[in-house]
């Protein structure tokens, strides 16, 4: 009897789509205005879903306060009001597309998950564009 518990959070960050091993011209031709060398930014909204059995004693799958604190420590503190390309180590050599960011978030949270919990992360780059990742399948 598995239930999924979801928690929303958010962070504001600058980024550009960019590969350092490509020329500026190639970056612009592939990524267009998203590759603007002076950066642009987003209010990222992130939804973290944890699926597992309801604990008989507490009635929780996971204490949402623990999940909230984990998201704060691992994601908000690391990404909020940051430049993803310059200041977040994971994107030093990884292009910060929404797809790559959602996998990075997943991996940062996954190492704290209990073995019997399944994780899914949804990331809104804008209210109109979002991505979802639930681990290797």
User: Which residues bind to a second copy, rule: CB under 8 A?
Assistant: 1-10, 12-15, 17, 30-34, 36, 38-43, 49, 54, 58-61, 64-65, 80-83, 86-87, 94-100, 102-103, 126-133, 136-137
Min dist CB 109 to a second copy, Å, is 15
What's the count of helices (H) and strands (E) in the chain, helices before strands? 5, 5
Residues 6+ apart with CB under 8 A from 44: 10, 11, 12, 13, 79, 101, 123, 124, 125
Q: Catalytic site residue 81?
A: yes
Rank residues 74 and 100 by Cβ distance to a second copy and give the closer one. 100
Vertex 91 angle, CA 85 and 95, to 5°? 85
Based on the residue annotation, tell me whether 76 is a catalytic residue of this protein.
no
CB of 59 to a second copy, least distance (A): 4
Please confirm, yes or no, whether 125 is among the known catalytic residues: yes
Give the three-class secondary structure for 30.
helix
Please identify which of the residues 34, 74, 76, 90 carries the catalytic annotation.
Answer: 34
- Is the four-CA dihedral 136, 71, 60, 125 of positive or negative sign? negative
Q: Which of 24, 40, 53, 81 is catalytic?
A: 81
Active site residues: 34, 81, 125
């Amino acid at each position: 009897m598995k239930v999924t518990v979801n928690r929303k959070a958010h962070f504001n960050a600058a980024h550009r789509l960019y590969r350092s091993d490509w020329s500026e011209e190639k970056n612009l031709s592939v990524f267009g205005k998203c590759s603007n060398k002076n950066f642009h930014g987003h209010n990222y909204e992130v939804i973290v879903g944890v699926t597992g059995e309801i604990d008989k004693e507490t009635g929780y799958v996971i204490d949402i306060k623990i999940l909230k604190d984990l998201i704060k420590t691992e994601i908000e503190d690391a990404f909020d009001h940051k430049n993803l390309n310059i200041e977040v180590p994971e994107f030093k050599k990884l292009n910060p597309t929404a797809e790559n960011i959602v996998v990075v978030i997943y991996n940062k949270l996954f190492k704290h998950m209990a073995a019997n919990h399944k994780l899914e992360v949804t990331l809104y780059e804008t209210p109109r564009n979002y991505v979802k990742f639930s681990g290797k399948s």
